[in-house]
C-alpha cells in the first residue's frame, strides 16, 4: 500500500515531516513499504496499482509514486496498465484485434510525468477531444 495520492499525499508528507514519534513512525512505515515493494518486484510478484481519485493524471501520479518507491519506470507503467488487465483476466492487445490507444509526445519510460499529458486518445475507434 502506497499512500501518496490525492489528499493522502499531503497528509502523509505533513505527518512524516513531523518531529517526534508520529513522524518517526510514518517515516519508518514508508521506508518499510519501499523495501517490500522493491523486493516484490525483484521476485516477479505482479504489482497492480490504481486510485480512487478521478481526473486526468491520477494514474500518472500513482506511477510516479511507485517509481519513488523503487520500481523502474517500466515496472510502474506496467502496474497501472498491463498488470491489472492481466490480473482481471482480460487478454492483452493482439494483432488484428480492436484496441484503444493513447499516445504521448514524449516517452513515458523516460519521464513518467508525460503520462498525465497524452498527445492523443483513440477510444472505440473515435478520437477523443482532449482539454
Tens of pLDDT, residue by residue over 78-110, are: 999 999 989 999 888 888 888 888 999 999 999
pLDDT, tens digit (0-9, with 9 covering 90-100), for 39-63? 898 898 989 988 777 776 788 988 9
Query: Which stretch of DSSP H or E encloses residue 14?
Result: helix 6-17
Q: Please give the C-alpha separations between residue 27 and each of 20, 23, 24, 64, in angstroms, as whole numbers.
A: 11, 6, 5, 18
- 72 — pLDDT class (breaks 50, 70, 90): very high
Arithmetic mean of pLDDT over the chain: 82
- Is this structure's pTM higher than 0.85? no
The pLDDT assigned to 5 comes to 42
Residue in 115, 47, 108 with CA at minimum distance from that of residue 83: 47
Supply 71's cell numbers. 520500481
- The C-alpha angle 80, 120, 53, rounded to 5 degrees, equals 40
Whole-angstrom distance, CA of residue 84 vs CA of residue 47 = 8
Q: Which residue has the cell 520500481?
A: 71
Q: Give the chain's radius of gyration (CA, Å).
A: 17
Amino acid at each position: 500500500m502506497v499512500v501518496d495520492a490525492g489528499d493522502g499525499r499531503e497528509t502523509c508528507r505533513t505527518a512524516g515531516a513531523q518531529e517526534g514519534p508520529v513522524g518517526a513512525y510514518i517515516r519508518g512505515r514508508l521506508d518499510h513499504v519501499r523495501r517490500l515493494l522493491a523486493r516484490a518486484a525483484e521476485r516477479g510478484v505482479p504489482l497492480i496499482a490504481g486510485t480512487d481519485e478521478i481526473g486526468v493524471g491520477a494514474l500518472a501520479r500513482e506511477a510516479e509514486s511507485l517509481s519513488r518507491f523503487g520500481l523502474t519506470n517500466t515496472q510502474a507503467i506496467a502496474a497501472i496498465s498491463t498488470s491489472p488487465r492481466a490480473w482481471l483476466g482480460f487478454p492483452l492487445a493482439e494483432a488484428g484485434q480492436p484496441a484503444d490507444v493513447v499516445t504521448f509526445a514524449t516517452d513515458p519510460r523516460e519521464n513518467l510525468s508525460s503520462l498525465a499529458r497524452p498527445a492523443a486518445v483513440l477510444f472505440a475507434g473515435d478520437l477523443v477531444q482532449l482539454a
